[in-house]
Amino acid sequence: MKMSFMRRIDDSLGFFLCKCLGWLLILKKYLFTRSRVINKEEVRTIFCQKYFGMGSILHAIPLIKALRENYPEARIIFMTLKSNQEVLELCKIADEILIVRIDSLNEFIKDVMKHAFYLLRKKIDISIDLEFFAKFSLLISFVTLARVRVGFHLKNIRPEGIITHKVYFNHHRHITEIFFAFAFTLGIERKDAYFTSPLLSFKNPFGKNLLKRHNIPEDSPIVVVNTNASDLFIYRRWPEEYYIELIEELIKVYPQYTYMMIGGNSEFDYVQNICNQIEHEDGQLINCASHTNLAELFGLIEMSFLMITNDSGPMHIASLYGANVAVFFGPETPILYGPLNKNSLVFYRNEQYCSPCISVYDSKKTLYGEDCGQNDCLLKIRPQEVFQKIEKRFFIPEINNE
């Protein structure tokens, strides 16, 4: 199914259904009182859902840690899309994963109906809806019949009634903090331990196996380059001609590094086209797009000297590993999704009035329509400027330390 189709259905039919159910639940609340307080010892099953954005799921790990510590007897069920299954398994985020397929409407309906009946049988105690303002996830929260249903709420965007514990979406805070507000709503206090070392190590054997497969010595300094962005909004890509100029300059000045290009199965041709236009010797520039599994990607980023990337899932992996990272922002704001580690370099031209244009209040659509005619917010970030700042921030200090 196309993203635009899913958004239209969610905004129209989804809103109508949520509105009707919300009215019924508000009426029920006045007629029949029910305690929404649960003793921690009584909680046996927690249901979480987040469908879009691998980075968002990764930034929910501190919340998941807090839930596990405060509800030690509870089993966590996580419902998401097929594309997120591997990251949930690798990071051990959930005890059980429910997958929703969106390749066709029939598959989607079949999966949703099957999971809805299953959730009813599981007798969910707490429902955690991590979707920003989708109505579909709100309906699923209702289906669980959980006594406590936590989710983002904003009047006129999400109808009242279904959510029992409302969370304010503070777009002036980072997404990690926003997600942890769910814990505050449940009476869980913040601990630094929830936010430290959120990812497991995959450099041995997965990252090392990847280097061995490409005949790269383990002690070779690696620069990982991600020229891609997810289908949610491809205009988050820094222009390919800019990447070509930047990588050529880096190879020319720092030829002792190995430059590894990453990407998914559908991005191989796009990445290979960039590689073909860059002058390099054998072994200096490697296209790994579609040739790595997720564990190898995690390991590669963990081992890297530097990652240069668009605003996308791999950037969040680098940030959570504390790796050196240089990232380009334009349609999205780094305030909400920027890297949290201090050894990061963010390129963002905030003087562009239309940037940021992606809105969580409108199904992550751009405020200026589904398509951006020309992403000036990224076009104005020039390759020479990027090279100079990356060199000063990462390469020169590394040389001075040697």
Q: Can you read off the two tokens belonging to residue 269?
A: 């041709």
Report yes or no: 94 and 76 within 8 Å, Cβ to Cβ.
yes
Q: Which one, of 397, 294, 292, lies nearest residue 345 by Cα?
A: 397
190: which DSSP letter? P
Do the domains at 42-195 and 203-401 have one common CATH topology?
yes
CA dist 275 and 382 (Å) reads 19
Task: Look at residue 386 in the predicted model and tell me its pLDDT.
Answer: 97
- Quick: pLDDT tens for 160-217: 899 999 999 998 999 999 999 999 999 999 999 999 878 899 999 999 999 999 999 9
CA dist 177 and 62 (Å) reads 9
Full-prediction pTM beyond 0.85? yes
Furthest-apart CA pair in the chain: how many Å?
Answer: 75
Task: Look at residue 7 in the predicted model and tell me its pLDDT.
Answer: 85
Report yes or no: 237 and 378 within 8 Å, Cβ to Cβ.
yes
- Whole-angstrom distance between the N-terminal and C-terminal Cα of the chain? 53
Residues of the chain with pLDDT under 50: 369
Q: What is the CATH number of domain 42-195?
A: 3.40.50.2000
Backbone angle region of 179, left / alpha / beta, with phi > 0 → left and psi within -120 to 50 → alpha: alpha
Which of the following CATH numbers is that of domain 203-401: 3.40.50.2000, 3.30.2320.50, 3.30.450.40, 3.40.630.30?
3.40.50.2000
Taking residue 185's Cβ as centre, other Cβ atoms within 10 Å add up to: 17
Task: Look at residue 234 in the predicted model and tell me its pLDDT.
Answer: 77
Residues in contact with 81: Cβ distance below 8 Å, sequence separation at least 6, in sequence order: 51, 52, 99, 100, 101, 102
Q: Mark 239-276 as b/e (b = at least 16 C-beta within 10 Å).
A: eeebbbbbbbbbbeebeebbbbbbbeeebbeebeebbe
Q: Mark 284-300 as b/e (b = at least 16 C-beta within 10 Å).
A: bbbbbbeebebbbbbbb
CA dist 16 and 357 (Å) reads 27
What residue ranges do the domains of the chain occupy? 42-195, 203-401
Chain centre to alpha carbon of residue 254: 31
Beta bridge partners, 131, equal none
Sign, CA dihedral 246-248-252-255, equals: positive
Task: Look at residue 29 in the predicted model and tell me its pLDDT.
Answer: 79
Task: Look at residue 237 in the predicted model and tell me its pLDDT.
Answer: 92
CA dist 270 and 230 (Å) reads 13
Task: Look at residue 98 in the predicted model and tell me its pLDDT.
Answer: 98
